[in-house]
A = this chain, B = another copy of it.
Amino acid sequence: MEKLDKRVDVWMVGSIGIDDIETPTASRKNLLGGSLPFATIAGAFAGATVGAVGVIGSDFGRTFLRRWETFGINLEGIQRKDGPNFRWACRYDDNLIERVTLKTELGVFADFMPEVPESYKNASFVLLGNIQPDLQLHVLEQADKPRFVVLDSMNLWIDIARPALERVIRKVNLVALNDGEARQLTGKWNLRDCATAILEMGPKYVLLKKAEHGSLLFTDKAIFIIPAYPVQMVKDPTGAGDTYAGAFIGYLAKARVTHTAIIRKALMFASAMAAFCVEGFSIEKMEHISREDVAKRVHELWQMVSIS
């Protein structure tokens, strides 16, 4: 992609997909998907300048790129390769909670070797989105001593690449997993026990995500409970976790500080952003809201957990 002069506050690596999504009330094809569009756009909503590291195939349309760029994302780290783009399809259950994967075609994503552009390298904040842990290590080695690195992963890598995953966990500041993944990784059921086990692997923070039930942030000294915003009309949950992670690190990158109080505020911001994400297919809802809309929802969320 073309080179921009603007330095980035944070860069993120992840997948870029073309998705088919079936819900009880709709069936949508050829949607912009993958973790990276959601995460980077959410980070941009926090006011951060975001760089994207990923790969697209020859069938990834210009329209997708234009829509993505509209959010001011720096796409210099996106490689275009000959061959089909990563494609994924799923079907959600009646309540939009569980989903079954109908199709996973890796395409050019199978040989993805992420490279961090020179202009990103001194960014202080990094999101290692859910890709193969060895690639997360490879891409992290290209960063110039980042101050705060967030790691996302998934059940697949816990199954087939645990040693590499444990190596990358040791190198990051915050590990974000959903409750099921944390239980799978640690072999423990109680989430406090899961968090303790993961903290012992090295990171200062562990974030355990519980979808519509919010999340729990653990340090060795404290627990913070982050509510989920109660969404009235969920259309498509795809990308909510990526939105959460991207909004979170984008908020930190904009604030340029990483103390615990800011981390808590960043998570409330992330919760509000993720609630918008699920109100539309793909990135569609995020294309129709303003930063003021997000600020209003963050305020609402604080009201819901405060006395006054």
Contacts and interface: CB of A to CB of B under 8 A. Distances in A.
Nearest to A183: B95
Contact of A190 (B193, B223, B232, B306): B232
B227 A225 contact: yes
A261 B264 CA distance: 23
A121 B14 CA distance: 65
Interface in A201-250: 210, 213-214, 216, 222-225, 227, 230, 232-234
Given A210-B213, A213-B210, A230-B223, A307 B261 contact: yes
A268 to B, nearest CB: 9
Interface in A83-110: 94-95
**Chain multiplicity (copies):** 2
A224 B213 CA distance: 14
B232 A304 contact: no
A64 interface: no
A308 interface: yes
A230 B307 contact: no
A197 interface: no
A167 interface: no
Contacts of A26: none
A213 B213 contact: yes
Given A213-B210, A216-B230, A224 B190 contact: no
A24 to B, nearest CB: 10
18 contacts: A94-B189, A190-B232, A190-B234, A191-B230, A192-B230, A192-B232, A193-B232, A214-B214, A214-B225, A222-B304, A223-B230, A224-B304, A224-B305, A225-B230, A227-B227, A261-B308, A264-B307, A306-B306
